[in-house]
Amino acid sequence: MSLLEVDHLTHRYATTKDRPVLHDVNLAVEPDEVVALVGESGCGKTTLGKIIAGLTQPSDGVVRYEDQDIGSLRGKARSAWRRDVQMVHQDPYSSLNPGLSIGTTLGYGLRRHGLATHRTVEKRLLETLQQVGLDATPAFLHRYPHQLSGGQRQRVAIARAISLEPRLVVADEVTSMLDVSMRVAILNLLLKFRAERQISFVFISHDFGVVRYFTRGGRILVMFYGVVVEEGPTEQVITQPRHPYTYHLLRAIPVPDPDVAEVRRDEEVAHRLEGEPARTGCVFANRCPFAEDRCREAPPLAEVAPGHRAACFFPDRVPPITELTSTER
């Protein structure tokens, strides 16, 4: 039994009625597994993350946690799921209530889920601060979000999630608003919790470098305009992409070699990578250098190698990524 299953999920916002933000998305996350959602801004990653975390109701489809439809959970089962699945948001500035002290923010969940009492909560909070690398003192608990740096705020947001002893964390672009120097520290902190507590992660990022670092040994789902176009083991997807969109995203990663960069710029112009998403057939067809008449039909997400699937009729035409491989290894 998977820890989490997303089954034929489709979502439309009131303002995006003409085109679903998510279209027939399927996903499974096993215990102790890391699955990354990758794709350009607006492809629906955050919406999918929020639906998984129960913060947004999908228009269609089912999310199952330990085989139970999360929409049907009530009472104790609902409360246990609420505790088990936590989300850490992109923006540590808006995800913490500015009017609440750090102690109040962190203490609320602990007390609500019976993990601490009025008497034990401070001890528990100090332990949590220490675990996330923050100043483990009562004075820190009395501070407010505006008195903290971005990195400290993100650590508080992580502390809030981790203190509830979750089994699954949805981490949504958790480093994208931080200084470069802070990013690795935050990723390492999450990796530490992953290793120590076997927490599963749905890790959302538009940055393949970050994804590769965090999801080593895990899986990647690549999304384009709400459609999963490729899914497979991290290293395989990054070095041997089988969907032209994944290839395009990987080729967009800056490389230090100016000759390679120039070839890539020419290639982008030649390959019309600016097209609108296609309304029928393959969603990537208008931008795809390999598109043919056949692509007017939607390709199924079909297996191209064990555990590796791509929604493309011509996966063998996608070249391997040699530059990224040589510069990153």
Ligand X SMILES: Nc1ncnc2c1ncn2[C@@H]1O[C@H](COP(=O)(O)OP(=O)(O)OP(=O)(O)O)[C@@H](O)[C@H]1O
Residues that bind ligand X (CB under 6 A): 13, 15-16, 21, 39, 41-47, 206
Q: How far is the CB of 235 from ligand X (least distance, A)?
A: 23
CA Rg value for the chain: 21
Q: How far is the CB of 170 from ligand X (least distance, A)?
A: 12
The answer to whether 169 and 108 have CB atoms below 8 angstroms apart is no
The answer to whether 150 and 94 have CB atoms below 8 angstroms apart is no
Residue 242: phi and psi, rounded to 5, are -120, 5
Nearer to ligand X, 47 or 105 (CB): 47
Candidates 198, 227, 162; CA nearest to 11 is 227
Candidates 209, 188, 54, 74; CA nearest to 132 is 188
Nearer to ligand X, 43 or 238 (CB): 43
Q: How far is the CB of 264 from ligand X (least distance, A)?
A: 23
Which helix (DSSP H) or strand (DSSP E) does residue 196 occupy? helix 180-197
Q: How far is the CB of 322 from ligand X (least distance, A)?
A: 28
Q: How far is the CB of 285 from ligand X (least distance, A)?
A: 20
Q: What angle do CA 296, 300, 302 make, to 5 degrees?
A: 135
Nearer to ligand X, 47 or 240 (CB): 47
Q: How far is the CB of 109 from ligand X (least distance, A)?
A: 24
Q: How far is the CB of 21 from ligand X (least distance, A)?
A: 4
Nearer to ligand X, 42 or 138 (CB): 42
Class of residue 286 by CB neighbours under 10 A (exposed 0-12, middle 13-18, buried 19+): middle
Identify any residues that bridge with 60 across adjacent strands, giving them in sequence order: 10
Q: How far is the CB of 12 from ligand X (least distance, A)?
A: 9
Nearer to ligand X, 6 or 125 (CB): 6
Residue 6: phi and psi, rounded to 5, are -110, 125
The answer to whether 198 and 33 have CB atoms below 8 angstroms apart is no
Nearer to ligand X, 16 or 198 (CB): 16
CA distances from residue 220 to 132, 146, 148 in whole angstroms, order as listed: 26, 35, 33
Cα dihedral 186, 191, 193, 194, rounded to 10, equals 150
Tokens read off for 105: 């923010």
Nearer to ligand X, 193 or 225 (CB): 225
Residue 24 CA to residue 288 CA, distance in Å, equals 21
Nearer to ligand X, 45 or 64 (CB): 45
Nearer to ligand X, 41 or 280 (CB): 41
Q: How far is the CB of 246 from ligand X (least distance, A)?
A: 15
